[in-house]
Amino acid sequence: MRHSCALTMLLASSGTCLAQPGVDLYGIVDVGVRSASGLAANNAPAPPGHAAFVNSGIDNTSRWGIKGQEPLGGGVTALFRLEGGINADTGAQAKSDRLFDRLAWAGLATPYGTVAAGRQPNLLSDALVAVDPLGKRYAGINPNINVAGLSNTAFGTHAFGRQYGPSGYADNFYRLDNTVKYTADVGPWQARAAYSAGEVPGDAAAASSHGVALAYRRPGWVVSGATMHFRSRDGLPLDAWTAGAAVRAAGWQFKANIARNDAATGPGKTVAQRVLSAGVSRQAARDILVTTAWYSVRRAATGLRDDGFDRAFLFIEKMLAPRTTAYAEADYTAWRGDAAGLTAARPNDRHGTGLTLGLMQKF
């Protein structure tokens, strides 16, 4: 009861502390010690040389949240979810301007599907859940999250430099405000549709987004894809799509995905990005999972030299207890074109390597 009271006091300055059935507090705390060469703390290109960091969210993003549900009768259930990111290495919020930067929505689950309204991941993110070779690990450096899912388009000279859709941030459209999302499961099919209102007076299309996603799921395999259209506040379009598959056989799991996005960034200016990815996971023992993954990113922008990078990963995870996992991670990046760039007029290393040892605990 002390924990329940503390949470209530955190969320409200007054009121009676009562247990509420159907409401859960949950989260992940993930911290790793990392050694890197040619990469900065945020995994951007850096001059040659080694550096050490303590990073948050290597295996899985550190976060905390509250979720709840209440049956209303007739097969209808009211749902809500609030979730915020944590920088476990410093104790700070992931986004200083938002307590619940990851999720903030309420909705209804019915026999005909679920509808939710609020801040939610875009449909590209939803489609990648089952088919990303890393299983959406290491969000800060995973190209399917950053490039295919549009969480960090500010990479180098090919940055979009503006906001598309109502994300609240330039160059990051992975989660969207003002979103209404509908999800329906029919046999092996799962279909999603979403619309995000830009809320620009006099222009319903400005800063908005919409899209659809479709997945076909069988016991040993899944195919998943999505397509979305975004608009900037001044009406510039961004179109994106992703498609992938995962197959499980005899303790092995194979995943592959392709994604592309094309944005108009100004009069006569465009930026295009493509991501190819593939990976293999193997349950080496009952409590040990080994995952390898490879990503190829290519970018083109008006008036600039084409660039991109190739990145490979190795993850070894050992489950110490049902809620505690120790892991080792290694990654290698090779920059292409002018992607490595400069730091204070000093050329950055054209290759980057990283090694992380960490611990993840769930609650």
Q: What is the DSSP string of 202-242?
A: T-SSTT-EEEEEEEEEETTEEEEEEEEEEEBTT--EEEEEE
- 308-326 pLDDT per residue, tens: 999 999 999 999 999 999 9
Average pLDDT, the chain: 94
Determine phi and psi for 260, rounding to 5 degrees: -150, 145
Give the pLDDT of residue 311.
98
pLDDT at 154: 87
331-341 pLDDT per residue, tens: 999 999 999 99
Element (H, E) at 4: helix 2-11
Interstrand relation of 23-39 and 45-56 (parallel, antiparallel or unpaired): antiparallel
DSSP-derived letter for residue 151 is S
Question: Tokens representing 264?
Answer: 């108009």
Q: Tell me 9's DSSP state.
A: H
CB 245 within 8 A of CB 221: yes
- Summarize the confidence of residues 298-305 as an average pLDDT: 95
Spatial distance between the Cα atoms of 248 and 172, rounded to a whole number of angstroms: 32
Give the DSSP letter string of 102-130: SEEEEEEEETTEEEEEEEEE-HHHHHHTT
> How does pLDDT run across 3-26, given as a tens digit for each residue?
444 444 444 443 444 456 789 999
Give every CB contact of residue 87 below 8 A, 6+ residues apart in sequence. Answer: 56, 57, 62, 93, 94
How far is Cα 150 from Cα 127, in angstroms, rounded to an integer?
A: 13
Q: How confident is the model at residue 156 (pLDDT cuts 50, 70, 90)?
A: confident
Lowest mean pLDDT among 145-149, 156-160, 166-170, 288-292: 156-160
Q: What are phi and psi of 263, to 5 degrees?
A: -125, 140
Name 120's bridge partners. Answer: 176
Q: What residues have CB less than 8 Å from 315, skipping those under 6 apart? A: 59, 134, 137, 289, 290, 291, 292, 293, 327, 328, 329
pLDDT, position 223: 98
Amino acid identity of residue 191, one-letter, is: A
Distance, in Å, from the CA atom of 92 to the CA atom of 355, rounded to the nearest integer, reads 24
**349 secondary structure, DSSP code:** P
Q: What is the C-alpha separation between 153 and 172, in angstroms, rounded?
A: 6
Q: What is the pLDDT of residue 34?
A: 98
pLDDT band at 157; cut points 50, 70, 90: confident
- Residues 198-229: pLDDT tens digits? 999 999 999 999 999 999 999 999 999 999 99
Residue 27 pLDDT > 90: yes
Residue 7 confidence (pLDDT): 45
1, pLDDT greater than 60: no
- Specify the pLDDT at position 17: 40
What are the Cα distances from residue 354, in Å, to 33, 139, 166? 10, 15, 34
pLDDT band at 149 (very low <50, low <70, confident <90, very high): very high
- The whole-angstrom separation of Cα 7 and Cα 279 is 40
Q: How far apart are CA 242 and CA 260, in angstroms?
A: 7
Tell me the pTM.
0.92
Q: What is the pLDDT of residues 227-283, one digit of tens each?
A: 999 999 999 999 999 999 999 998 899 999 999 999 999 999 999 999 999 999 999
Residue 317 near residue 309 (C-beta atoms within 8 A): no
pLDDT tens, residue by residue, 46-104: 999 999 999 999 999 999 999 999 999 999 999 999 999 999 999 999 999 999 999 99
| One-character DSSP codes across 11-60 | H-SSS-----TTEEEEEEEEEEEEEEEEE-TTS-EEEEEEEEEEEE-SSS
